[in-house]
């Protein structure tokens, strides 16, 4: 399983294990686009940022788990869920519209609540 690092400048690193089982084409495109830089935004307890990848919905879903990482086709964005979003009903994360699940946060989940709009992020292959 491939590991990627999300370096949020001034905050720290989040380690993500990519999981191609559900959306293999999406994971492959994201992996092939590494490394890249972007600017993070917050939407409730979700951090998201634009990627250089343009990909359609593969096996999309809106119900997510804490620590889930997904690709949002509408925004060409990577999303990291760490709690409820404005459309959640209860404590579970819920995407705004269908996303392609691509992996799980392995380390650094606690850092996500510190990220604010405009935070610079670098995405690269893990060690």
- The span from the first CA to the last CA of the chain, in angstroms, equals 12
* Average pLDDT of span 18-34: 97
Residue 49 is inside which H or E element, if any? strand 46-50
What pLDDT band is residue 97 in, cutting at 50, 70 and 90?
A: very high
Q: 65 CB contacts (<8 Å, ≥6 apart)?
A: 81, 92, 93
How distant, in Å, are the alpha carbons of 15, 23, 92, 94, 96 from that of 62? 22, 14, 11, 5, 7
Q: Tokens for 117?
A: 């709009």
Q: Has residue 1 got a pLDDT over 80?
A: no
* Average pLDDT of span 27-56: 97
pLDDT at 55: 96
Identify the CATH number of the domain in which residue 42 sits: 2.40.100.20
pTM tops 0.95, yes or no: yes
Domain with 109 in it: 3-125
Q: Has residue 127 got a pLDDT over 80?
A: no
Q: How many domains does the chain have?
A: 1
Q: 124 CB contacts (<8 Å, ≥6 apart)?
A: 4, 5, 7, 34, 35
């Amino acid at each position: 399983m491939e590991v990627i690092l999300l370096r949020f400048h001034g905050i720290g690193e989040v380690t993500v294990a990519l999981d191609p089982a559900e959306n293999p084409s999406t994971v492959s495109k994201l992996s092939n686009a590494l490394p890249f830089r972007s600017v993070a935004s917050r939407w409730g307890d979700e951090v998201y940022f634009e990627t250089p990848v343009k990909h359609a919905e593969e096996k999309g879903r809106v119900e997510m788990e804490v620590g889930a990482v997904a690709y949002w086709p509408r925004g060409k964005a990577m999303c990291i869920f760490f709690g409820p979003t404005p459309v959640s009903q209860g404590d579970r994360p819920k995407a705004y519209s269908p996303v392609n699940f691509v992996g799980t946060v392995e380390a650094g989940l606690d850092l996500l609540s510190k990220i604010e709009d405009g935070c610079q992020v670098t995405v690269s292959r893990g060690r």
